[in-house]
Amino acid sequence: MEGIGAAQGLFEVKEPQTQTIPLVFNSPHSGRSYPKHFLDQSRLDALSIRRSEDLFVDELFAAAPDLGAPLLLAHFPRAYLDVNREPYELDPRMFDGHLPPHANISSMRVAGGLGTVPRLVAENMEIYARRFPVEEALERVETIYKPYHACLRRLIARTHVQFGLAILVDCHSMPGNIRLSGSGQRPDFIIGDRYGTSAATQLSETAIGLLEGQGFAVARNKPYAGGFITEHYGRPARGLHALQIEINRSLYIDEVTFRKKPQFDDLARILTGFMVDLAEHVSAYGAYLPLAAE
């Protein structure tokens, strides 16, 4: 799947020989190629700046092409540019120069330091040592964000034309210290469907049931209901479904060293089985999914 960003190695589509299932997998936050000029701008060390990464999530879902579905993955890091935001959620305090009038400077995500060009990594750690030119931020949007989303749109549209429906699975990870309010339970997975607006309820419940069947604790929508990608691409009434899946990082990595645990390969095999079972469900019931949306 060509495009400016793909041609420059900023992201990649791993295609099946033939797409045989109406699923598209996306890993927008697992990129770990840090530009030198970005590291030079940062006040953080090489390990701390990685705390926003969805570490190795692309590898956990690496079997998707072998199962007949494309996998889009970022090589650029989330700390550099977050494609799970609106294109212009930008904080004017970060830049020298003026943002365009269409920039969304007052969103909650901007206020929290987690805009399209983030100010913080996890645990409220400031990324930048000083302001930098606004033109650089806008260039990241033009040369990375827009080509990435153009590629994702093409994958979804192609799938929809071929199968009459398309299911986007947006793949993420979450810190191991996440707890559910009220119960204090630590979820192993969270399935987000924007409270029933981005995917058919039947699809969400199937995903949850498949993971619970493997013995995992699974929550729905809390505390992560899905970001811009899930909200933007999920249109169940048109046969376009988007699910977000969050994986607890403590299941597969050491969160201090960011090294894979011995359980990594087992979890990857479990997620391969999850993808197979989800695809089988969609093949059996896909024609009814648009009718099941809330």
In the predicted structure, residue 287 carries a pLDDT above the cut 90? no
pTM: 0.95
Give tens-digit pLDDT for 137-147. 999 999 999 99
Share above pLDDT 90 across residues of the chain, in percent, rounded to a whole number: 89
d(CA 278, CA 11): 26
Residue 80 pLDDT: 98
- pLDDT per residue as tens digits for the range 150-206: 999 999 999 999 999 999 999 999 999 999 877 778 999 999 999 999 999 999 999
Residue type present at position 128: Y
* Assigned CATH topology for domain 4-81+148-292: Aminopeptidase (3.40.630)
Residues sharing a CB contact under 8 Å with residue 142, sequence separation 6 or more, in sequence order: none
Residue range 215-220: average pLDDT?
97
Torsion sign, CA atoms 277, 205, 172, 167:
positive
Condensed to tens digits (0 to 9), the pLDDT of residues 232-256 reads 999 999 999 999 999 999 999 999 9
Helix (H) or strand (E) holding 25: strand 23-27
